[in-house]
Amino acid sequence: MESLKRRHVIVLQVLKTLDESMRLLNENVTELHLAWSLSDSVIKRFEYTIDTFWKYLKLYLEETGIVQETTGSPKNVLRLAVEAGCITKEEHNMLHEAISARNETSHSYNHELAKEMVQRIPRYYTVIKTVTERLQPE
């Protein structure tokens, strides 16, 4: 259970860094060069936030005994979490979309996709934070 507690703290820390990047971007959106650099920061921080989150969720399911064993697939972990009642169907859909978005951003850089992602990431952030806070280890 200690590893689950440590992982929970890490998820909260990466959420904080993502929040800071989003805040800085919103404060500096008028400076075009700075805005693009900050957009890249938001996307990169989102990528490691979603990765850290789904691995925490996997560990949570295993350590709490909700499931005996999970596969390494993030989408399978989400499916198991919704089946176990740890996340709602709506949260599942948003997190599934977030993982797909992460896969898109990490495999190629596309300026239009980056602009779109920066608009969607705050919604993903909210769901990740809500679920993380709800699934706090005892």
**pLDDT per residue over 78-95, tens digit each?**
999 999 999 999 999 999
Query: What pLDDT was estimated at residue 105?
Result: 78
Query: What pLDDT was estimated at residue 66?
Result: 80
Most confident of 26-30, 42-46, 89-93, 109-113: 89-93
**pLDDT per residue over 39-67, tens digit each?**
889 999 999 999 999 999 999 999 988 87
Query: What pLDDT was estimated at residue 44?
Result: 93
Query: What pLDDT was estimated at residue 29?
Result: 67
Query: What pLDDT was estimated at residue 33?
Result: 65
Q: Give the global pTM.
A: 0.90
Mean local confidence (pLDDT), 15-20: 96
User: Which domains are seen in the chain, by residue range?
Assistant: 2-134 (1.20.120.330)
Residue whose pair of structure tokens reads 């699934």 in the numeric block: 135
Of 8-17, 84-93, 99-108, the least confident:
99-108
